Structure 1
């Protein structure tokens, strides 16, 4: 019988063969353990990526396919470190972003931006986006990304120089805004360094593992580069707009207020107070009243002050003062939250620093009526008259604090650093710096928007509670005049009822006059309204000059 197996002598060793003369498969784990693979002398971390079988048997250089996942810049420790630091920077920046987001609604100590509104938040949001793009497209570097990242960084560096060079902007931004723009610029330059390092590492690994630098790109890589480029172009446009807005702010900083600015609330922010006319005195030496104006939605200088100026020119009154609430016109933003009572305290402090002791006739329009009533209750000895001009009632504060309106205000604030409307108005409509500071376009600024957001957040809670308390404290004998818009009352029955209730905030109502053709909250826009306002302001002024004995009679 013919044997199926034969023997083959090879150097004294016998090995079994099958009938075709081939070795049987004996590559068991025990056999592999007895015959371990022989490592080449130049084996290291990088060469170990090549297949071991090829390392043992190759007679010449053998390389990986360019599509092999092992061909990656992540093989280099320098690239890994750069990516790890980018992740750390993203975590730090995100935590800073969250803190700035919270500070819009509740300001931690030393975190209030006194006049910028939302610039620090905008810089940090841009930095988060820059880091995310760098991480998502980390392994797909391109020249376009390097160029665009460099352009973004240079523009941010220019923003930093503007903020530091203009004293008013430097004060308004504070250390928070300065830190945010410096960090944004540094991250931009870091991304440029990372992109170039990864590009170098990718070429190095391709030459080592595939024998040449790969110049082709897959469709997936081209799509990634295209998306990253589009995003970076958007970032460049955003920074260009922010730089333009900062240039406008530097121009606006040259507008000087008529009055003075006073630091209040422990020097946390400054408010603007201005007076027209010198203090005059009665025959008995007592000071004559000063009319104190509290504006509505817009700054006093733009909409409200002109008819009072005419009243002084006509001799109806001798002197008047006004102030800008925090965030409006020349006044800086207050920390959040900021209620009507906090505003009244700020006004009292500023007047005390200025040396204004009253007595005062309070004239408030729109929501300014709420603020003037709170101020009156907290300064009862110095108030000799109150005029409410189509003023908001405390029971209607829920209209101001509507959540949907608050979200819109927040959204407007977030994009306000882009200055879309302000830049367009300046370039195409010839808007001047006075318009932007206290004029008809002042509502477009982030500082103004933050003021309205602060009003929205606490109007139906803190401010409503404060004005209810003020009603109980209010001196009942203070003379009161209520002027209402007839057009407003015809279109809003609830407003009409609340206007009537305002006539009862004191027991000494001199008049309630309804101006039929006057627009809502701007009675002075029509001649009939201006005449009524000046007439009754004169009555209050004369009443306030009477000695107490004559008032009682």
Structure 2
């Protein structure tokens, strides 16, 4: 039979020795040789029992060896001789179990998917990637933030995987719970459902899955570390607790369960702070989204602005699915042409229906196009129609809203509502600013329906389309894209609601005119202007090609009056040249009735002193 000492020597020289560390400083090990040959009659049953303990695995696998002579008493082996050594890998090995490995892999995969989806949705806010099986009529900004929240929290879960924070777990749990009312709002509110479903369901599912696995990984790692700590403490207490009352605390300190040291505490504190900030960021973002969606759902219950307003279903050739266009036409008078007013960029046509400006505009401000409905109420003109371009006012967002698709939307709205059929004298197209481009393409595609034109300081190809330089492109990103992305966070809408600076109607009919601008209150309008500016304003865009093609079919001989701002022409040579081309080249000499340059007016030439000039021009065209 081999001697016990030789048995211990053979065990300590095993390969596992290189993976283990003692529980005491080296100075205490010198006593290990004080009794190298124990008395042959010394009972060995205690050592046999402790040997079975030493075969246990502190970290999940067997670690041979023992700590020498910890708490030894002269004449017999100390209990520390039988205490199992602790692996250097120690608590790190709890992260290598299959459940935690699988959780980490899935969390990483979901975080990557959320990041990719965020990038796609960011690009989608400018260049629409929608397809036929996703009938989407929203801005895309909300979906982007939902996906970004999932990517952000998932990234925090990956970075803090091995050092989970309870505060990060708590904030992530609240963020996940706040997604439940968002889902109910989107599915139960008719306006939100039409605008966001089904596209928003994709980032919601990805984000919810990411949050679930972030919570799961945080919980599993914390539980595994707690169990490992309890296991080490229990094993050390069983082995050495009989000799010293404070051995458990000593063992905890030595294996790192307790007493991490100064720098360890600093690192742990900083990790907790970073985790809290990461969790709070996601929580605040999802809370702002919930508030904004709640306000949008409330605003969506508002009825149409007039008794003759209607929503007409249209589907332009460039659109994958139908959308609703808000069209408002007064009573018919078949003896006179029907006036169709198209507003400027950033201005919903529905504003013309309102007799007074909506908050926060001043009471003496003028709503663009209102003067036409004043003439109709006075019985001086026949039927007057106005409409909200796609993405404006009560109209749905149109994917890839190029000039051709916008013009087709107007034509189908007029045709489907019966206005074209009832207008025996044709249509008088009144286009203001950007609306002038729409009028020209409309006339080129349907010349037989046109009676005459009234261009109000209208845009032209040379003034609207340009290939911006790098600095101009970056300026557009900072002035249009970034502010647009912030719209769903309710940074402007919520203070406006709380301070009662706006109503549901003013948020739906948000406009750049009258001043102050309220464009920031409506994300659909932000989307439409972003498409106009960054998607369809270059010379390589589909809108530019559409306008060039329309020039060959444009009925230049139809009666036309061009009203231009003298002040703007004086300040801007390119604008002056564009107005000259519209009056002398686009419009033939036979069709040109008048080209009037109105002084003391800005871009909206029918305001102030220019109102009488506009009214007189309408009357002159009616006589043609």
State the TM bucket, normalised to the shorter chain. Answer: 0.7 to 0.9
CA contact (8 A) 1:294 1:365 kept: yes
Inter-partner Cα distance in structure 2 for 1:405 and 1:229: 35
SS in 1 for 2:84: coil
The offset of 1:221, in angstroms, is 2.1
Inter-partner Cα distance in structure 2 for 1:454 and 1:240: 28
459 and 111 in structure 1: CA distance in 2 versus 1, 3 angstrom threshold: farther
270 and 47 in structure 1: CA distance in 2 versus 1, 3 angstrom threshold: closer
| Corresponding residue to 2:447 among 380, 387, 393 | 380
1:510 aligns with 2:593: yes
SS in 1 for 2:561: strand
Q: Deviations over 1:302-323 (max 9, x none)?
A: 3323111111122221111122
Name the structure 1 match of 2:499. Answer: 428
Q: Deviations over 1:27-73 (max 9, x none)?
A: 999xxxxxxxxx979868765656433399974333538xx543134
CA contact (8 A) 1:272 1:330 kept: yes
1:455 aligns with 2:536: no
1:407 aligns with 2:430: no
| Corresponding residue to 1:171 among 194, 200, 211 | 194
Q: Deviations over 1:491-548 (max 9, x none)?
A: 212211211211132221111112211122x12221x2111111111222232xxxxx
| Corresponding residue to 1:364 among 425, 431, 444 | 431
453 and 269 in structure 1: CA distance in 2 versus 1, 3 angstrom threshold: farther
SS in 2 for 1:176: coil
Q: Structure 2: give runs of 5+ residues left out of the alignment.
A: 3-8, 16-50, 70-79, 235-251, 352-366, 512-517
Inter-partner Cα distance in structure 2 for 1:323 and 1:222: 59
Tell me how many residue pairs correspond in the alignment: 504
Inter-partner Cα distance in structure 1 for 2:107 and 2:14: 47
Moved more, 341-350 or 255-264: 255-264
Name the structure 1 match of 2:281. Answer: 234
CA contact (8 A) 2:324 2:395 kept: yes
The offset of 1:94, in angstroms, is 3.0
Inter-partner Cα distance in structure 2 for 1:310 and 1:431: 25
Inter-partner Cα distance in structure 1 for 2:344 and 2:57: 72
Name the structure 1 match of 2:337. Answer: 289
The offset of 1:223, in angstroms, is 0.9
* Counterparts of residues 121-136 of structure 1 (less than 5 Å): 121-136=144-159
Name the structure 1 match of 2:294. Answer: 247
393 and 51 in structure 1: CA distance in 2 versus 1, 3 angstrom threshold: same
* Counterparts of residues 332-351 of structure 1 (less than 5 Å): 332-336=396-400, 338-351=401-414
1:525 aligns with 2:607: yes
Name the structure 2 match of 1:17. Answer: none
Name the structure 2 match of 1:60. Answer: 82
Inter-partner Cα distance in structure 2 for 1:87 and 1:483: 61
Inter-partner Cα distance in structure 2 for 1:42 and 1:376: 93
Inter-partner Cα distance in structure 1 for 2:83 and 2:57: 17
Inter-partner Cα distance in structure 2 for 1:43 and 1:391: 89
Higher relative contact order, structure no. (Cα contacts within 8 Å, ≥ 6 residues apart): 1
Name the structure 2 match of 1:106. Answer: 128
Inter-partner Cα distance in structure 2 for 1:354 and 1:77: 64
Name the structure 1 match of 2:91. Answer: 71
112 and 122 in structure 1: CA distance in 2 versus 1, 3 angstrom threshold: farther
Name the structure 2 match of 1:143. Answer: 166
Inter-partner Cα distance in structure 2 for 1:249 and 1:47: 54
Inter-partner Cα distance in structure 1 for 2:522 and 2:467: 19
Q: Deviations over 1:406-464 (max 9, x none)?
A: 41322222222102111121212431111110144244322111111211222223222
SS in 2 for 1:260: strand
CA contact (8 A) 1:112 1:334 kept: no
CA contact (8 A) 2:406 2:438 kept: yes
Name the structure 2 match of 1:537. Answer: 618
The offset of 1:145, in angstroms, is 1.1
Inter-partner Cα distance in structure 2 for 1:436 and 1:240: 20
| Corresponding residue to 1:264 among 306, 315, 330 | 315
The offset of 1:148, in angstroms, is 0.6
| Corresponding residue to 1:207 among 209, 215, 230 | 230
SS in 2 for 1:52: coil
41 and 429 in structure 1: CA distance in 2 versus 1, 3 angstrom threshold: closer
SS in 2 for 1:71: helix
| Corresponding residue to 2:390 among 326, 334, 339 | 326
116 and 163 in structure 1: CA distance in 2 versus 1, 3 angstrom threshold: farther
CA contact (8 A) 2:510 2:525 kept: no
Aligned CA-pair RMSD: 3.0
Inter-partner Cα distance in structure 2 for 1:448 and 1:245: 15
CA contact (8 A) 2:64 2:85 kept: no
Normalised TM-score (structure 1): 0.84
41 and 263 in structure 1: CA distance in 2 versus 1, 3 angstrom threshold: farther
Inter-partner Cα distance in structure 1 for 2:524 and 2:499: 23
28 and 196 in structure 1: CA distance in 2 versus 1, 3 angstrom threshold: closer
CA contact (8 A) 1:160 1:182 kept: no
Name the structure 1 match of 2:575. Answer: 495
CA contact (8 A) 1:518 1:525 kept: yes
216 and 427 in structure 1: CA distance in 2 versus 1, 3 angstrom threshold: farther
469 and 263 in structure 1: CA distance in 2 versus 1, 3 angstrom threshold: closer
Normalised TM-score (structure 2): 0.75
Inter-partner Cα distance in structure 2 for 1:158 and 1:309: 43
CA contact (8 A) 1:416 1:444 kept: yes
